[in-house]
Structure 1
Amino acid sequence: MIVERNLFTPLLKLKNFKPYFTDYKNQIVRFVDLFAGLGGLRLGFEQASSNIGLKSQCILSSEIKKSALQAYTDHFKETPQGDITQINTNDIPNFDVLLAGFPCQPFSNAGKRRGLDDTRGTLFFEIMRFLLAKKPRGFLLENVPGLLTHDKGKTFSIMLSHLKECGYFVNYKLLNAKDFGVAQNRERLYIVGNLSCPIDLDRFPIAKCVFKDIQERHLELLNTPFTQKILSQFTPNELYGKAIKDKRGSNNNIHSWDLGLRGVVNQAQKDFLNLFLKERRKSKYAMLWGTPQKDGVPLSLKSIQDFFNHADLINLLDDLVAKGYLKQIKNSKNSELGFALSGGKLSFEFSKILHPNEPTPTLVASDMHKIGVIDFKNKEAGLRRLSVQEGLRLFGFPKNYGLNTSYKESMDLLGNSVCVPVIQAISKRLIKVI
C-alpha cells in the first residue's frame, strides 16, 4: 500500500520544541474541543476528569453550525470560535488534550464517501495543525466506521501515518454505545493517541439499556391521516420495531402499499410489488438496463414478464404508476421505458417505530425527526414522534442539558452527536496515562 507522505513538511519543523505539560500541582487538565457540535466530547471528558479527581478546563472550542453554536453557548455559557480554518496557528493556546469529532459525512454511508477529496474531509488536517503546533499529551477522535474502509483503507492508513509521525502511540477501535449503558445501537470509530504509551481500548465494563428505560410517558399523540391509517391496520404490538419504507426487510418492513398510502391496491399488485423489491437487485436485469448492479435498477416490461405472470399485467402496472407506487424512467441509452419504485424510506412521515424492549437503531441526522414511538394517553394507544428529551437520553446527555432550537434542528444536531458515556469511558483511560 502506498502511503502519501510529507503532506505536513512545513509544519513538522514545529516539532523541535518541548511539548507543553500541565502543572499538575494545580490538578487541571486543559483541552480543546474541535468540531464541538453539542459538546458531547467535552461533557464526557469533563465527567471522566471529575471522576478521577482532576479539574478540567476547555481553553478553546470551535464550531461552525449556527444551531450548534447556540446550544453549546446555552449550556456551557461560552461561545465557541467559528470556522476552524480561520484560527491562526500562533493564537492556539497551550493544551494537554485534543478532542475532535471531525465531520463524518465524507466517510459515512449517508454521505458520498469522497473522503479526503471532500472539503470537509480535509478538516482532518486542521486536527494535525493543532497537534503539530502544540504537541499535546494526547487526543481523542471520533468518526464513523466507514472511515476504516474508505478507499480500500488508504484514507485511514494515511491518517494513522500522520498521527504516528507526530510521535504518538495510536490505538483505535470500533465501540458500540449499546454496551455503555446507552439505549442506542450506535457503533463508532474511536482513535486515541498518547505520547507516553498505548491506550487500551479493550475490556470495558458492559452496561445495557433498552428504549423503555429512558422513554417518556403519556406525551401528546399525533392524529394525522398516516397515523389513523396505520393504527387502523396494526396493533401497537405489531408495530414495535417496524421500519416504514419501500425497501427489502423481510417481515420488519411496512410498505406504502401495505397501508394503501397512495391508494388501495389488490392482492396481485401487493404480490408484484413485494417480488419487484427482490428481482430489481439481480445482476442480469442491471446488465439488460445497461447500468452497474445496485439496489434499485429500473425494470423493463420484458424483464418484469420474466418473473411475474399476470393476464392483465399492463393495466396492473399502469394503475400502480397512476397511484404513485411506481414511476416510469426512460433508459438514456436506448429510450426503453422501465419501472422503478417511487419513494424510499425518507418519503414517509415515519421511518421507524421503536421497540420498547430493544436499543434503538443507529440514529442519524437525515431522518431522526421521523422516528416514531408508541405511547398511551387516557388509556388509548397512539403514535408520536421521538421527543427531544428522549433524543438527549439516547446519546447520554445529562438531565440538565436542554435544546432551545426547533424540533427538526434539535434532531439534526443529535443525529450528528457523540454518545457521552462512551467518551467518558475512553477519556478516563486517556487521562490516567497523560
Structure 2
Amino acid sequence: MLRIATVFSGIGAIEHALERMQVKHEIIFACDNGDVDIFTPKIAELSSDYLGNMLNSTEIIDSNLQIKKEFLLQKLKETHLSPKELKEYGIQVGMLMEQMKILQTKQQLKTLHSFQEKKEFIDNLYSNKLKNNKVMQSYLANYNLSKEHYHQNVCFLDASFYQKKVDLLVGGSPCQSFSLVGKQRGLEDTRGTLFYEYARLIKEIQPKVFIYENVKGLLSHNRGETFKIMEQVFDALGYTRYKAVLNAKDYGIPQNRERLFVVGFRKDLGVKDFCFPKPILLTTSMQDFLLDNVQDKYYLKQKGIDFVCASKNLTKRYTQVNGKIALCQKKNQQYNWHGDFIQESLEKYFLSQKVKDYVLSSGTKGFFSKPKVDLNIARPLLTTMHKMHRAGVDNYVNTQGRLRKLTPKRVFAFNGFL
C-alpha cells in the first residue's frame, strides 16, 4: 500500500486523484493552515513614524533579520516617501515581524521534547481560529485521517517523527511569490521561504519519492536564478530529479492551467529513467461542465459586466466569456471579477423572425387576438399551446443573455474534482 503525506494540502487533490485511480493508499499526515494567519501583524497606519515604532518594539533574535530591520528603519527616516513606497515598506515590516514571531515560536518548541507536546502546543496557538480553517474541515470530512496527524503550519511540523514512514511526499509552497500575475518577491517573501520548509521535510522524512509543484513563473523568476538555487537544494538532499511544465488541458480537463512539476527519487532506489505522462486528446469543453438553473447570486450586475467585457481585460486574459478552455482558476476569483464567465445561450427558447411575426400578429381569417408579451400573470397553461403559437393565447417573454460567474461546484470540476 502506498503511504502518502501532503503539505500545503488544500482540500486534497492528490488524495482525490489516487481515489479516482483506485490506488490503495494510506494518508500518513497532511498540513495546511487554511489561510488562517496568526503571525502577520495588523498595520493600522501607513506612516513612517508608525512603522518605525512597530519595528523598534520588535525584539530581533536573528542576525539576518536584524540587518533587515536596520535597513527598513533607515529607509523610513527618508523624507517625502510616496504612498506607494510607504505601502511597500509596510508590507516588508509585516513580513519581518511575521518571520520574527515564527522564529520565537520555533525557539519555544525547542524546549519541548515529545512529538505530542509540540503538536499540542501548536494546536493551542491556533485553537481560537479552528472554526475559520475551512480547508481543514473539508479535508478531514473527506479523507481518513485523524486530527492528530493534521498539522496547522509546516514551519512547526517536527517531520522527524515520520522518518521512513512515507513513500510519497507531495506539496507546493504558495505560488504567489513566483506567479507571473503577482509581485514576484520570490524567496525573499515569507511565502517563498516556505520552500525551505518543504526541503526540510524531505530531509527529515526521507520519502522514497517527492513531487513539488508550483507556477511556471518560478522558472523565469530573477532570470532563472531562484530555480537554480532550488535545484541545488534538491540535489543536496540526495534525490534524482526530473522537471516538466504540464498543462491541465493536455490531460482531460478544459482549463488552461500550466504548472511546474519536479519529481524526485531517492538515489538509493536506483531509478534511472522517468517519463512524465504524454498528453491526451481533450474531448470536452468548458461548456460541458456547466450547470443549468444557477442561483441569482452568480449573475453580474452592470458594473461587473462592464469590467468583465472591457477590451483591456479580455485582451490581457484577466477575463474570458464563454471560452472553450477555462482560464487558470485563481484563489478568491469567486469574490472578484477575474476569471471565466458565462453568457448563457437561450437560443433554443427563442423564436425565429418568421415565427415571431406570426406570434405577434393580431390574427388571421375570422380569428382575432390581442398580442401581449411579458405578462405579470401567465395565461393558463393548456395542452394545446404547442399548436397555437399566438401571443394572444400563449406566454412569451422578452429576455437578454445574462452574464454569470462559474459556480464553486464547476470550479471544483475544472480542478479535477469530478
Q: Secondary structure of 1:91's partner?
A: helix
TM-score by length of 2: 0.56
Alignment of 1:4-403 (within 5 A): 28-48=1-21, 50=22, 54-65=23-34, 66-78=133-145, 79=147, 80-93=150-163, 94-195=165-266, 196-201=271-276, 203-221=278-296, 225-226=301-302, 243-245=308-310, 247=312, 351-355=319-323, 358-369=324-335, 370=337, 371-375=340-344, 379=349, 380=399, 381-398=401-418
TM-score by length of 1: 0.54
Deviation for aligned residue 1:105:
0.8
Alignment deviations for residues 143-171 of structure 1 (CA, whole Å, 9 cap, x no partner) = 00010011111111111122122222211
Deviation for aligned residue 1:119:
1.1
Distance 1:203 1:229, change over 3 A: closer
Alignment deviations for residues 16-72 of structure 1 (CA, whole Å, 9 cap, x no partner) = xxxxxxxxxxxx111111110111122224444x2xxx5211101000112211221
Distance 1:204 1:90, change over 3 A: same
Task: Say whether the 8 Å CA contact 1:175–1:188 is kept in structure 2.
Answer: yes
Give the RMSD, CA atoms, in angstroms.
Answer: 2.8
Q: Distance in 2 between matches of 1:128 and 1:228?
A: 42
Q: Secondary structure of 2:10's partner?
A: coil
Q: Which amino acid in structure 1 is aligned with residue 161 of structure 2?
A: D
Distance 1:68 1:110, change over 3 A: farther
Q: Distance in 2 between matches of 1:229 and 1:60?
A: 44
Q: Distance in 2 between matches of 1:154 and 1:202?
A: 28
Task: Say whether the 8 Å CA contact 1:116–1:155 is kept in structure 2.
Answer: yes
Q: Distance in 2 between matches of 1:229 and 1:183?
A: 24
Q: Distance in 2 between matches of 1:193 and 1:47?
A: 23
Task: Say whether the 8 Å CA contact 2:166–2:205 is kept in structure 1.
Answer: yes
Larger radius of gyration: 2
Deviation for aligned residue 1:111:
2.3
Q: Distance in 2 between matches of 1:61 and 1:187?
A: 24
Q: Which amino acid in structure 1 is aligned with residue 327 of structure 2?
A: P
Task: Say whether the 8 Å CA contact 1:220–1:384 is kept in structure 2.
Answer: no
Task: Say whether the 8 Å CA contact 2:18–2:24 is kept in structure 1.
Answer: no
Q: Secondary structure of 1:372's partner?
A: strand
Q: Secondary structure of 2:325's partner?
A: coil
Deviation for aligned residue 1:122:
1.3
**Aligned residue number for residue 304 of structure 1:** none
Distance 1:95 1:202, change over 3 A: closer
Task: Say whether the 8 Å CA contact 1:92–1:130 is kept in structure 2.
Answer: no
Deviation for aligned residue 1:206:
3.3
Task: Say whether the 8 Å CA contact 2:8–2:32 is kept in structure 1.
Answer: yes
Q: Which amino acid in structure 2 is aligned with residue 87 of structure 1?
A: L
**Aligned residue number for residue 50 of structure 2:** none
Q: Distance in 2 between matches of 1:224 and 1:45?
A: 37
Deviation for aligned residue 1:219:
2.0
Structure 2 residue ranges without an equivalent (≥5): 35-132, 350-398
Deviation for aligned residue 1:361:
1.4
Deviation for aligned residue 1:225:
4.6
Q: Distance in 2 between matches of 1:368 and 1:224?
A: 12
Deviation for aligned residue 1:249:
5.4
When structure 1 is superposed on structure 2, of 380-389 and 176-185 the one drifting more is: 380-389
Q: Which amino acid in structure 1 is aligned with residue 31 of structure 2?
A: S
Structure 1 residue ranges without an equivalent (≥5): 1-27, 231-241, 254-344, 346-350, 399-434
Task: Say whether the 8 Å CA contact 2:243–2:261 is kept in structure 1.
Answer: yes
Deviation for aligned residue 1:128:
1.4
Q: Secondary structure of 1:31's partner?
A: strand
Q: Which amino acid in structure 2 is aligned with residue 207 of structure 1?
A: L
- Calculate percent identity across the aligned residue pairs: 26
Q: Secondary structure of 2:193's partner?
A: helix
Task: Say whether the 8 Å CA contact 2:300–2:405 is kept in structure 1.
Answer: no
Q: Distance in 2 between matches of 1:229 and 1:135?
A: 51
